[in-house]
């Protein structure tokens, strides 16, 4: 492997920012030193930020590549490669690709089929071929309000690089869809559903949750243990829901929808992950609690790009500005997510760590990714 020396850089270390240089050798960070000198053969970063590669725990971005338009199924290998390249270009060097498990086959108002196992095989195969630029793990989004969840979970095992399993419940009237008017706006807008169709959809989903929800929830918790994956909750809304999550052994909460839920997570030692788009836009597009409010109260631990990959870096820099601490802001997309899922070899600039490193220039409040290295090899 080639050696890379990034010099005259503003190094974002775990707890501080300082001017110096960093050497990447044999896929690892070999050493670091303070100073502004630029040795022969080094890359002069001109004061640009140099930080760990970003770690994304939840992204729906692959879905956008696979279905660029409604009813268009893009060739999957091409979609995965494009998704991978897009993430690399915005500084993400480790991703947990979110795949929904749990399908509905018999509800005429809302039918969607199984896809996760086949798509996971394609991701893992491309990884084995060395066709992907960055590191990919799987994140199974387990939909408890479904018909086939247990069967789909059984098709996965400990060898499938499943890093996260999240407990999802999109039952009308619950969690994210507690406000039925918001659900109606979403479903009717996306699927063109009629008034009668929406009423039927609500009734059938509620009946399905009542019949299978508890059984599915228990299965998700058990299967996450079998995989050796981190368990997450999703869209917690009340303190009671957070207490149930804590009882299941949930380690982090994806997008709690209220301040009460975020506060309850804090009391139970559950980390809070919020969406960078929420932070950048100044609020939730669904009417949920603003990420900025949680950040101001010290109740935001991890950021996710969710549906806009480029938002991850911008959001972390915004947090650094908000807190007056660049290192703390960057930690929400590097060290914090790494620790959340037990990745001890990345997420920090330190000797011996995996050489996943990015170079970032700042222009006002904007950011420009000027170099991306994965295990010491430049990929963007």
- Residue 143 tokens read as 């939909």
Question: What is the predicted pLDDT for the residue at 205?
Answer: 77
| Structural domain span for residue 93 | 54-343
Of 257, 64, 88, 71, nearest in space to 179 by CA: 257
- pLDDT band, very low/low/confident/very high, at 313 (cuts 50, 70, 90): very high
The pLDDT tens digits of the residues spanning 214-242 come to 899 999 999 999 999 999 999 999 999 99
Based on the fold, state whether residues 149 and 274 are members of the same structural domain.
Answer: yes
Calpha distance 239→348 (Å, rounded): 33
71 pLDDT band, cuts 50/70/90, is: confident
Q: Is the per-residue pLDDT at 173 higher than 60?
A: no
Q: Are residues 232 and 160 in the same domain?
A: yes
333 shares a domain with 259 = yes
| In a shared domain, residues 225 and 339 | yes
Residues 41 and 103 in one domain: no
**Strands lying side by side in the sheet with 271-275:** 54-59, 92-101, 135-143, 162-168, 230-234, 252-254, 271-275, 302-304
Per DSSP, the residues of 145-209 read: SSSSHHHHHHT--GGG-EEEEEEE---TTSGGGSSHHHHHHHHHHHH---HHHHHHHHHHHHHHH
CATH number (domain holding residue 2): 2.30.40.10
Q: Are residues 305 and 358 in the same domain?
A: no
Distance CA 115, CA 100 (A): 8
Residues 257, 234 share a domain:
yes
What's the pLDDT tens digit per position in 243-256? 999 999 999 999 99
pLDDT(42) > 70: yes
Alpha-carbon torsion 299, 98, 315, 135, what sign? positive
Q: Is the pLDDT of residue 137 over 80?
A: yes
- Do residues 302 and 332 touch, judged by C-beta distance below 8 A? yes
What span, in angstroms and rounded, lies between the C-alpha atoms of 358 and 12?
Answer: 10
Q: Are residues 21 and 74 in the same domain?
A: no
With a cut of 80, say whether residue 158 has pLDDT above it.
yes
- pLDDT, residue 365, reads 78
The model's pTM: 0.92
In sequence order, the 6+-apart residues with CB closer than 8 A to the CB of 369 are 89, 90, 91, 313, 358, 359, 360, 380
Residue 342 CA to residue 96 CA, distance in Å, equals 13
Greater model confidence, 64 or 196:
64
pLDDT per residue over 12-22, tens digit each?
A: 999 999 999 99
Same domain (yes/no): 212, 333:
yes
CATH number at residue 142: 3.20.20.140
3-state secondary structure of 220: helix
Q: Is the pLDDT of residue 194 over 80?
A: no
The total domain count for the chain is 2
Token pair recorded at residue 221: 């918790």
Are 350 and 375 within one domain?
A: yes
Cα–Cα distance, 330 to 348 (Å, whole number): 10
> In the predicted model, is pLDDT for residue 110 greater than 80?
no
At which residue do the structure tokens 């990959």 appear? 309
Residues 307, 365 within the same domain: no
Return the half-sphere exposure (C-beta side, CA atoms, 13 A cut-off) of residue 77: 6
Check whether residue 24 and residue 172 sit in a common domain: no
Say which range, 114-123, 141-150, 163-172, 299-308, has the weakest mean pLDDT. Answer: 163-172
Q: What is the per-residue pLDDT for 334? A: 98
Burial of 108 (0-12, 13-18, 19+ CB in 10 A): exposed
């Amino acid at each position: 492997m080639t050696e890379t020396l990034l010099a005259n850089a503003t190094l974002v270390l775990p707890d501080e920012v300082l001017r110096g240089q960093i050497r990447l050798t044999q896929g690892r960070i070999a050493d670091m030193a303070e100073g502004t000198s630029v040795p022969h053969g080094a890359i002069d970063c001109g004061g640009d930020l140099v930080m760990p590669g970003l770690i994304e725990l939840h992204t729906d971005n692959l879905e956008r590549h696979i279905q660029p338009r409604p009813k268009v199924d893009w060739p999957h290998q091409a979609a995965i490669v494009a998704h991978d390249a897009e993430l690399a270009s915005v500084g993400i060097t480790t991703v947990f690709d979110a795949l929904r498990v749990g399908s509905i086959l018999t509800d005429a108002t809302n039918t969607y089929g199984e896809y996760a196992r086949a798509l996971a095989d394609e991701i893992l195969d491309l990884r084995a071929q060395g066709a992907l630029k960055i590191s990919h793990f799987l994140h199974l989004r387990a939909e408890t309000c479904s018909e086939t969840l247990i069967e789909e979970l059984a098709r996965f095992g400990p060898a499938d690089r499943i890093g996260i399993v999240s407990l999802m419940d999109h039952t009308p009237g619950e969690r994210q869809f507690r406000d039925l008017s918001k659900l109606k706006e979403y479903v009717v807008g996306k699927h063109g559903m009629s008034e009668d169709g929406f009423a039927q959809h609500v009734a059938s989903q509620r009946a399905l949750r009542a019949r299978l929800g508890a059984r599915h929830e228990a299965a998700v918790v058990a299967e996450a243990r079998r995989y050796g994956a981190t368990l997450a909750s999703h869209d917690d809304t009340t303190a009671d829901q957070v207490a149930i999550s804590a009882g299941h052994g949930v380690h982090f909460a994806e997008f709690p929808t209220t301040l009460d839920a975020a506060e309850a997570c804090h009391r139970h030692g559950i980390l809070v992950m919020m969406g960078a788009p929420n932070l950048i836009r100044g609020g939730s597009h669904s009417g949920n609690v603003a990420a900025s409010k949680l950040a101001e109260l010290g109740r935001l631990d991890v950021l996710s790009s969710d549906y806009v990959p480029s938002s991850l870096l911008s959001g972390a820099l915004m947090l650094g500005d908000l807190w007056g601490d660049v290192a703390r802001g960057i930690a929400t997309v590097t060290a914090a997510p790494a620790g959340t899922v037990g990745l001890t070899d990345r997420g920090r600039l330190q000797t011996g760590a995996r050489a996943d490193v990015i170079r970032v220039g700042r222009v006002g409040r904007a950011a420009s990714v000027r170099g991306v290295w994965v295990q010491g090899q430049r990929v963007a």
